Chain A
Amino acid sequence: MKFLFSMLMIFSTIAHSGMIKITYTQKNKSNAIHILKRFEQKYSIPSELIILKKVESCISRDKRFLELCINTKGELIELSNHNLKSITNSLKVFKKKVKNEN
């Protein structure tokens, strides 16, 4: 029982990790994947820091993270975040540095 409880604890914490949460409603999965790839390719953000999840409605679930949601109209919404600047600053470290050829 103790083991099951600890396992549940571990999985519940893992489910909430990740700095960018891209959520989508209804049939917007392809658009959400497109956004995810954009983060990975353009900003070189490690895939383990991005979470893709289907939700019923666009509501902020953890204000520590950068939460993006594609609503039923297909619009991309940035959910409220008190930590947005510090998150974007901390993610800049992953961007590939362009080597000066000169």
Chain B
Amino acid sequence: MKTNYFLSGCTANFGVDPWFSLACFLLAPIFFFFSFLWIRVCVVLEAISKSLSCLINYKYKEIFLTFVVILVKVFILLTPCDAISATASKDIILSKGEQTQLTIGKLKNFSVGNKEVIKYKYRQASNEILISAKSMGYSDLVAWKTNGEKLTFHIYVTSKREQLKKMEIIQVLKNTNLKTEISGDLIYVSGEVNSEKEYLIIKQIESTKNPKLILNVQLSHSIIQKLIGTIYKEFYEQGFDSVSCEYIKTNIFCDYQGGSDKHPIVKKFEHLYRVSFKGHSVQDSPSNLKVRFHIVSLESINGTNRSMGINRIQSNLASAIKSDGAELETGDILFKDSHMKAKLLAKPEIQTTLDNKFQLQLGSEVPVESRDGEHTTTTWKFYGLKLSGILTLKHNKLLLNHSAEFTQLRGEGHSGPKGKSSIYIDFGSQAKLFTILMEMSNQDSASIPGLSRIPLFKHLFQEQSTYFSKKEIHVFATILKE
């Protein structure tokens, strides 16, 4: 009889072979750990994937998560804890060949991302990692401390010259209250300049024109008062007629009048505060100016005699005024496609100065009678064009602020348009100030004497016609130096 001793034999072997039993004893915890990890990963992964799956949830189906929910919650709580520990990161910028040591504390483990960029050596006795920049590039170093803390170092290896410049800038900025941040290989500087020292440092750094430097710096009100106040004070002390400064971020721009371009005070502030100056000589804004107006009427020629013969010219109004053409004075200019005829009504000129008002009247005063019971009073009223304005210098350009009023007799009353506007004009060039549009109607009647008095039949022997005409008055101005 053959007896199967397989199981008993195997059991016997376990007890017999001491090496085999020792291996079983040693590997059992690892086996159980990995098996538990395998179950946990599978269970949690399944729960998460099910809860997030669109295919399962698209009809708002209820998901029944059993005890796994607790596991998921534990994982959700653990993840931010890991993230918090991972936020401890630091940027290190090294130049090629430079080395630095990282003192981390009790180190459990560490990992280097790019071993081609940095070389490293761990000194266990002093818990330090010695890093040496091998070649230009980027690498990170992640270190885990024994207390569970995770540290991340972003290591940038740049060229020696570039690094030197950056270090110099960072070192200088440490002496200011400005915020300096290093992001990759960029230096971002922000804040408010509060002292002259900070201003001079920023201007010096700006002059290096480093493309890796981002300056988002503003001047404080106190430093503006100090710097611009000093400029104003010293310029007036030197006898300048006027000085006016403005600023954008950290740049100061000044306009001055009454001094030479190479005046020492200009050079001083250009060099000291790096101010941009723009000088205007007295000739730039002459005290006496001539304003020449061209008042042109454009009249609709509908219904009038169009046979102008050889005098008919097709032209542009602005060019006609510019050339001071005699055609305008005779009124022989016709405009293509517009059926308008142009005529120069007046070409008055006035002498004026900057910042002083001028007034111009073209027309006449007409007596107007008004009755109040038995008394009749006569008042004089102006009919025509009234022009007033003021010439000023703004941003080194002539600004003409003007107002116009046009009045005409209409029936018993008087009426007309009026308005105000302003315009920049260059010396010698022409600008259109405004246009007045008028529509007029005239009634005309013709009849055969005698027959037109017969009742009812009179309409057969008389003719009434109404003529509509359009009129435009254009006013142009030219500023000339006297």
> Which of A17, A84, A87, A93 contacts B245, CB < 8 Å?
A93
Find chain B residues with CB under 8 A from A89 CB.
244
Complex Cα gap A17–B234 (Å) = 8
- Interchain nearest-CB distance for B305 vs A (Å): 53
Cross-chain contact of B232 among A19, A84, A96 (Cβ < 8 A): A19
Complex partner residue of A90 from B237, B242, B247, CB under 8 angstroms: B242
- State A67–B237 Cα separation when bound (angstroms): 16
Contacting residue for B233 out of A18, A82, A93, CB 8 A: A18
- List residues of chain A with CB within 8 A of the CB of B229: 46, 48-49, 94
- List the count of A-B residue pairs having beta carbons below 8 Å apart: 56
Q: Mark B234-261, 1 if CB is under 8 A from A, else 0.
A: 1011100111111100000000010000
Q: How far is the CB of A49 from chain B (nearest CB, A)?
A: 6
- When distances are taken between beta carbons in the complex, the residues of chain B under 8 Å from A84 are 355
Q: How would residues 60 to 102 of chain A score, 1 for a CB under 8 Å from any chain B CB and 0 otherwise?
A: 0000110000000000000000111111011001101100000
Q: At the interface, yes or no: A16 with Cβ under 8 Å from chain B?
A: yes
User: By the criterion CB–CB under 8 Å, are B237 and A94 in contact?
Assistant: no
Residues A85 and B244 in contact in the complex (CB < 8 Å), given A18-B233, A48-B229, A94-B224: no
Partner of A46, one of B226, B237, B238, B392: B226
A97 to B225, CA, bound (A): 13
A44 close to B233 (CB less than 8 A): no
Task: Tell whether, in the assembled complex, residue A86 and residue B244 are in contact, meaning their CB atoms are under 8 Å apart.
Answer: yes
Contact, CB under 8 Å: A14 / B237: yes
Number of interface residues of A (CB under 8 A): 24
B93 is an interface residue with CB less than 8 A from chain A? no
Interface assignment of A30: CB less than 8 Å from any CB of chain B? no
A13, A18, A46: which has the most chain B beta carbons within 10 Å? A46
Question: What string of 1s and 0s marks CB contacts (under 8 Å) between A14-42 and chain B?
Answer: 10111100000000000000000000000
Using CB atoms, name the residue of chain B closest to A90: B244
Residues of B within 8 A of A93 (CB): 224, 228, 244-247
Is B221 in the interface zone, CB < 8 Å from A? yes
Q: Which residues of B contact A19 (CB under 8 A)?
A: 232, 236
Interface size on B, residues (CB 8 A): 23
Q: What sequence of 0s and 1s flags, for each residue 170-188 of chain B, a beta carbon within 8 Å of any chain A beta carbon?
A: 0000000000000000000
Q: A14-B237, A49-B232 are in contact. Are A96 and B226 (CB under 8 A)?
A: no
Known: A48-B229, A90-B232. A96 touches B221 (CB 8 A): yes
Distance of A83 from chain B, by nearest CB (Å): 6
Query: Are A44 and B221 touching (Cβ within 8 A)?
Result: yes
CB neighbours of B242 from chain A (8 A): 64, 83, 86-87, 90
Residues in chain A near residue B238, CB distance under 8 A: 13
Asked whether, in the complex, the Cβ of A82 is within 8 Å of the Cβ of B355, the reply is yes
Task: Give A83's nearest chain B residue, CB to CB.
Answer: B242
User: How near does chain B come to A7, taking the closest CB pair, in angstroms?
Assistant: 15
Contacts of B237 in A (CB 8 A): 13-14, 16-17
Cβ distance A59 to chain B, nearest Cβ, rounded Å: 19
Q: Name the B residues within 8 Å of A96 (CB-CB).
A: 221
Interface residue ranges of B197-247 to A (CB < 8 Å): 221, 224-226, 228-229, 232-234, 236-238, 241-247
Task: Establish whether residues B241 and A83, one from each chain, have CB atoms under 8 Å apart when the complex forms.
Answer: yes
Contact across chains for A46 and B245 when beta carbons are under 8 A apart: no
Complex contact A17–B241 (CB within 8 A) = no
- Compute how far the CA of A85 lies from the CA of B355 in the bound complex, rounded to whole angstroms: 8
How far, in whole Å, are A48 and B221 apart by their CA atoms in the complex? 16
Pairwise interchain contact B243-A18, C-beta atoms closer than 8 A: no
B236 touches A64 (CB 8 A): yes
Instruction: State A65–B240 Cα separation when bound (angstroms).
Output: 11
A89, B393: Cα distance in complex, Å: 11
With CB as the reference atom, state the residue of chain B lying closest to A86.
B242
Given the known interface contacts A83-B241, A87-B242, A90-B242, the answer about A46 and B225 at a Cβ–Cβ threshold of 8 Å is yes
Output the least CB separation between A15 and chain B (Å): 10
* B355 neighbours in A (Cβ, 8 Å): 82, 84-85
- Residues of chain A within 8 A of B225, CB atoms compared: 44, 46, 94
Known: A13-B237, A90-B242. A85 touches B392 (CB 8 A): yes
In the complex, what residues of A have CB within 8 A of residue B247's CB? Answer: 93
Q: Kindly provide the distance from the CB of B140 to the nearest chain A CB, expressed in whole angstroms.
A: 40
Inter-chain CA distance A17–B257, complex, in Å, is 16
Query: Closest chain B residue to A62 by CB distance?
Result: B236
B residues at A contact (CB < 8 Å): 221, 224-226, 228-229, 232-234, 236-238, 241-247, 257, 355, 392-393
Question: What are some 29 contacts across the A-B interface (CB < 8 A)?
Answer: A14-B237, A16-B236, A17-B233, A17-B237, A18-B233, A44-B221, A46-B225, A46-B229, A48-B229, A49-B229, A64-B241, A64-B242, A65-B236, A83-B242, A85-B355, A85-B392, A86-B244, A86-B393, A89-B244, A90-B232, A90-B243, A93-B224, A93-B245, A94-B224, A94-B225, A94-B228, A94-B229, A96-B221, A97-B221
> 6 closest Cβ contacts across the A-B interface?
A90-B244, A46-B229, A17-B237, A86-B242, A46-B225, A13-B237
Known: A46-B229, A64-B241, A82-B355. 19 other contacts (CB 8 A): A16-B236, A17-B233, A17-B234, A17-B237, A18-B233, A19-B232, A49-B233, A64-B236, A83-B241, A86-B244, A86-B393, A90-B232, A90-B245, A93-B224, A93-B245, A93-B247, A94-B224, A94-B225, A96-B221
